[in-house]
Chains A and B, each alone.
Chain A
């Protein structure tokens, strides 16, 4: 074999290979060199994230805590730091410590998975925590850490404004700072201001050896607490609003109505601040935030949609409460109803162009005749508003239909904020609908089921818009905000529930000052008329809330409002039935409006009968009157 040396050379190469490998094995497994050098080469760094305490939420005075954070001691297990042979003993020790069966702890270990770091218990108490720290050898891989726990000291009060903290949803997980184990703000201020409230988690870098034992802390970045939110909520008014809404529900129930819920909002018409906002029945955010909610409880909450804030998510036909818009535009443009007046010419007031005889019904070609809820007789723009004469506002609609720009009414509605989200700093607000010819054509063409299948947009449809019925829907906040704009002389504010966000040093890091959406050009004369007619609704003999406001108190002259009774077609056991939803929008004091109250009692009956008494109580409260027990008003529109 002439090339023997070449084969031998290859053999030598392989011998070298094997030698290197065996030396490496010896170094890793046998020699103490490896353990001596492991801090430099095999050194592992274990990164542990420390949750930041979430920022607080306060009322407008900064005195009442609406949401806060309590530090509890949490027991954290890091399975990477426990060798398998010690895990059984650790589980037994933990079971004895926490007073739960070992099988439960084993189950939790299995659920979390191998090598995971997880919180076994959230609130172990100081004595137990101390015991663990004094017996670390019995609890390998266990650390005691302060755990921030979200608390809502007021229970259900302002639940919808606050929101709650829960497991992240899919879109939350798209945020880079959110992991599946985090909890994030959901709904309300917790959701809207989550980025500012959540703070920055801290990090501890532990040095860990090859066996996973902690050698020490390399670096520690403490967590930065979340910033605190100062709301515009007047907490006592908030409580009062919620109590009154519950009273309204009881009232409707006594009256035999199958009432579902009630919602309300109190705005400051001077800057759009929300002083109170409620949707009842509500929920206790702590139940959702601590994760102890049972499946049945959750199902019950879902069925009643209690998580939804109906003050901004409830869409109702504004009904007669909407008449304020055609009322304002009629006064501004001097558009007066003229239809079907030939036979009553002799009855009308020759000095008042707005004079009108309401005979109870009105016909529009190819449309079934419209029937008013009552025969009002001789009215004018002022009394028609006070007695809520549908006839009159239909007449305005038809006058617009025949003689004006046919979108005039809708343009005014949109100017006052209908059909668009108000832009309040709360999530999931709905926009509502202002139907017009284009909207109608679109839905008819696409067969969405919102409009009839046959026939074009007609004067009859516009008549329905004028009394806030038909396809027209709005949220309680939109209605309140439109009244605020009319009461303050034409400024439509963007409603807000948060004034500012402040860091731990009380420095403002985010400011949410009042902001104007638009100003609407209305004359002082119109505003004066409007405010005085609001009072007429509650004070004059024929006013729709006359009975509800009897015995209001000394400040009676300074309050007013408008009723509304929305007829909503509801399917009940295969039968379609018109169910009334009650509205009332109140303003006080009329000489210097500071409060606008909108109340909806969902399927509660007539506005004058059910919603007006609720609003009356709130107006009594804000005007400093003695609040008497709320009683049924009169069955009006």
Chain B
């Protein structure tokens, strides 16, 4: 039992005393994942809207593909991006491998299908009258789209939170295209794996506490948003 209690005690100590290395890792994790979700969201929502409101042959197939990609293994994404960005790869000249930018790209690929599929579901579930009312009251299509997005904002926030939850805790892509470089591309999941392999359990547990607290916070926010969405409907 001591093997668990002692490192846990040390983990809380590290968090409370503001251990610089630890908080650098947490900062990198949040910076990379927030950039990824903010870059992906506008394009994903636009695509979700088009899928929900524009009819074309194969639309259902495209939606099914995005729904399937929600479960895309992070290591597979990591492998593909590694091959693209490696020196011999088609984008090798950009020299992005083992940078935070490469991690952001990988996380965009991971959260994009979640944002599209969940955004599509939220927009499809919106009352059709909202769209028609906006149009008949004089809004152009872009303005009517913004109105519709405002009407389903809680559902779209749920999609963003789910996407963020997925990428902040993924390890496969970050490890493969980030390289786990201390102070540069080492984020929470890759640091946990490394510290555990070295037997430094306190650091691993401290970072684990941050992830679990974040997951709890996101889940709580999701519940509140879903309740508000139900009330707004």
Question: Do A and B assemble together?
Answer: no
